[in-house]
Amino acid sequence: MADGLDIIVVTGLSGSGKSVVIRALEDSGFFCIDNLPVALIPKFIDLCQGYREEVKRIALGIDLREGLFLQSWPEVLAELRAARHRVEVLFLDAADEVLLRRFSETRRPHPLAGEGSTEEGISRERKALEGMRELADRVLDTSDFNVHELKKEVERYYSEQPSPRKMSLFLTSFGYKYGVPHDADMVLDVRFLPNPFFVDELRGKSGLETEVEQFVLKREETHTFLDRLYSLLEFALPQYEREGKSSLTLALGCTGGKHRSVVLVEDLKKRLDQGRFRIHVKHRDIDK
């Protein structure tokens, strides 16, 4: 059997940015089609395999406007993976208050609001999509992104040619004072480590600078933590891969997201096998 295609399925809540993501994927070299009926997806994929030189990566946008979506999608997904296609389901989410603001700004009615309010429509859709969210390989919360930032985030994830042998690891540093990342699979608190913020000459520097790095890494407890975290990942990542998970986001948090978490994310990136994984680093709050 011929090698399968790389397929990204984009779904999620109305107003969470699906159209922006589809356009960003198109700019990254994906052949994109939005709102294709679920029943036609296998046939469409079969047609694409006849044009392997022109069509190598596909992005499909699906939402609740496609009536049979929820009922038939699990079977269609299983069928695609059984045919050796590399399928990743990207679920877009956002906080209710953000979705309300976006619908207010665009003056568009929510597709499930009916005669009710936008808030009621969001609640109905969130409940209807609970099962789909559970099936997702990646949940991307778009609450904190504007259009341009979301496009860059998608390009960061998918601009590289994907490899079926490599899992994507997204290592994120953040500050608890700005909130926990909504799209993280694993979150670890590193606020137990001594804080460079209370050292006058280090307060204005970031964890990317040598002086801060040395301050954090000279502690025995830092090395013990990193050693144990690395051992955990060495055990857990192959298990995630075996279960078909194509990506994982690990978020390390300190108070402000500028010093300790940044140093640890950078050190962990060095420890992990660059040839085995596709590693992406994001320091969310380093400039705040």
pLDDT of residue 162: 45
Range of the domain at 198: 168-283
From 110, 143, 164, the end of a domain falls on 164
Number of compact structural domains in the chain: 2
Q: Is residue 22 part of a domain?
A: yes
Do residues 135 and 86 both lie within one domain? yes
Residue 132: which of 73, 181, 60, 76 has the closest Cα? 73
- Predicted TM-score (pTM) of this structure: 0.58
Determine, yes or no, domain membership for 288.
no
Q: Is the pLDDT of residue 233 over 50?
A: yes
Determine the length of the chain. 288
What's the token pair of residue 72?
A: 């038939």
Same domain, 82 and 189: no
Domain boundary among 145, 164, 183: 164
Residue type, 67: G
Q: Which of 164, 198, 226 is the last residue of a domain?
A: 164
227 and 150 fall within a common domain: no
CATH code of the domain covering residue 11: 3.40.50.300
Structural domain contains residue 154: yes
Q: What confidence tier does 29 reach under pLDDT thresholds 50, 70, 90?
A: confident
pLDDT digits (tens, 9 = 90+) for 118-137: 899 899 889 888 888 888 88
Residue 1: pLDDT over 80: no
- Same domain for 126 and 114, yes or no, is yes
Please check whether residue 63 lies inside any domain of the structure. yes
- Each residue of 178-211: pLDDT tens digit? 999 988 999 999 999 999 999 999 999 999 999 9
User: What does pLDDT average to over the chain?
Assistant: 87
Q: Examine residue 1 and state whether it is found in any structural domain, yes or no.
A: no
**pLDDT band with cut points at 50, 70 and 90 for residue 3:** low
